[in-house]
Structure 1
Amino acid sequence: MALLFFTQLLGESGREWLSYDRGLIEAGQWWRLITGSFVHLGWWHLFLNEMGLAVLVLLCPQPLSFAVWIRRLLILSLGMSLGLYFFVPSLNSYVGMSGVIHGLFLLGLVPQILKKDLIALGCLLYLIGKLAWELFSGAPVSDESALGGHVVLESHLFGTLTAFAYGIMFRVYKRTEIISLK
C-alpha cells in the first residue's frame, strides 16, 4: 500500500514514466508491463484500490511472507499486462491495480473456501458474478467519471486468470505459501 502511495506522489511525470503504454513497450520499455499496475489516474483511483487491498487483508487473513507478496504482485502484474497486450490490441495505455487485486482475491479466497469458510465462498461467487456482469454489460458510466478515465474491465479478467494459473503453479489451492518460495 505504501508503494502505491509513493508512486502517486510522483504525480503526472511518474505516471507517464511507469504506465502501461503499448507503443513504448513495443519500443523496448518492458518494465511497463509490471509498473503500470502501481500507478493511478488520481487520488480517488488510488483510494479505491487501497480500500480493495484493505478488504482483501480482512477477508483473507492467512499470513504471507514478504517474498510471497512480492512474487504474487509481480506475476499478477505481468500476467495481467501480457493478457492486455496480446488480447486487447486496441488498448494503448493502462494504469491501476484493480486487475491485480481481482487476482489477489482469488488467491486469498480459495484457501479460505478449502477451510470451509462460507463467507469466502460467497465472496468468490460474487467475484465471478461481477466479472461476468462487467464483461456482459461494461463499466458503469459513474465509475469512469469518478475515476477520470476509462475502466479497463479486461484487466479484471486477466488478473483473475493469471491468479488461477499462479494458484495451480504454486499449489496455492492445496496448501498455503506462508513461509517459503518453493
Structure 2
Amino acid sequence: MFDLPLAPRYVLPPAILIAFCTLLMLPPVQELLLFNRELIEQGELWRVWTSQYVHTNWMHWLLNVIGIGFIWVLHAEYRTPKTYAIHLLLLGLWTGIGIWLLCPDIRIYTGLSGLLHGVIVWGAIKDIKVGERTGILLFLGILGKLAWEQYAGPSAEVGALISSRVAIESHLIGAVGGMVLALPLLWQKK
C-alpha cells in the first residue's frame, strides 16, 4: 500500500484548480473565456490562455478532474504550491499559443487536457530524474498514447461524451510544453 499525499500543501493546489474550473462552468463565464479564433482575431487575446480552464460540459470537466486526481496521486510531492501554479500558468499559455499558431483549423476550443499532458510529462521526467522506476514506463506510456492519437485520430466515443471533437493537437502541444518545462531538471543533481 502507498501513502496518499494528504498534507495541505499537496491537496490545496489541485483542489483550487478543480474549484476554479468548476466556477468557470457557469455559462456566461464559459462563453467569455473559451478559445474562439474569430474573437481572438478581433482582440480578445485572453481567450488564448483562459480557454485552457473551461470545459464543454460536465463530463468534459469530470474527465479532467480525474486527470488532476491521477497526477496528484503520482506527483503531488514534486511540486510546491508555487511551482504547481507556475506550471499551470505556463503550460496553459504554452498550449493556448500553440493551438493559436499551429492549429488554424481549430476555431473553438476548451479544455484542460493539453495542459494536463504537460504536467504529467514533467512529472514522468522528474520520476526518471529521482530514480523512480515507473517514471520511464509512464513517460513511454504517454508517448505511446500521443503517437496513437496522432495515428488513429481523436476518439469519437470521448468526443460524444464531451460534446466536442477531442483536440488531440492540444495533448501533443501540452506534452511538448511539459518536456520544455522539464529541461532544468536535466541539469539538477539528484
Is the pair's TM-score, using the shorter chain for normalization, greater than 0.5? yes
* Aligned mate of 2:49, from 34, 58, 83: 34
**AA in 2 matched with 1:98:** S
- Hey, what's the Cα distance between the residues in 2 that align with 1:18 and 1:135? 27
Match of 1:172 in 2: 185
* Aligned mate of 1:161, from 141, 164, 176: 176
Count the aligned residue pairs.
172
Contact 1:59 1:109 in 2 (8 A): no
Task: Say yes or no: does 1:109 pair with 2:110.
Answer: no
1:1-182 map, 5 Å = 1-8=18-25, 10=26, 12-168=27-183, 171-175=184-188
Per-residue CA distance 1:22-55 (angstroms, 9 max, x = gap): 1111111111111101100111110110110110
Identical residues among aligned pairs (%): 28
**AA in 2 matched with 1:56:** I
Contact 1:107 1:172 in 2 (8 A): no
Deviation larger for 82-91 or 64-73:
64-73
Deviation at 1:65, TM superposition (A): 2.4
- Hey, what's the Cα distance between the residues in 2 that align with 1:175 and 1:33? 32
Deviation larger for 61-70 or 108-117:
61-70
Per-residue CA distance 1:59-109 (angstroms, 9 max, x = gap): 113242222222111111111111111111111110000000000001111
Structure with more contact order per residue of length (Cα contacts < 8 Å, sep ≥ 6): 1
Contact 1:84 1:155 in 2 (8 A): yes
Check 1:105–1:173 CA distance in 2 against 1; reply closer, same or farther (3 A cut).
Answer: farther
Deviation at 1:160, TM superposition (A): 0.9
**AA in 2 matched with 1:35:** T
**AA in 2 matched with 1:59:** L
**AA in 1 matched with 2:185:** V
DSSP-derived class of the 2:185 partner: coil
DSSP-derived class of the 1:139 partner: coil
Please, which runs of 5 or more residues in structure 2 have no aligned partner? Answer: 1-17
TM-score normalised by L of structure 1: 0.89
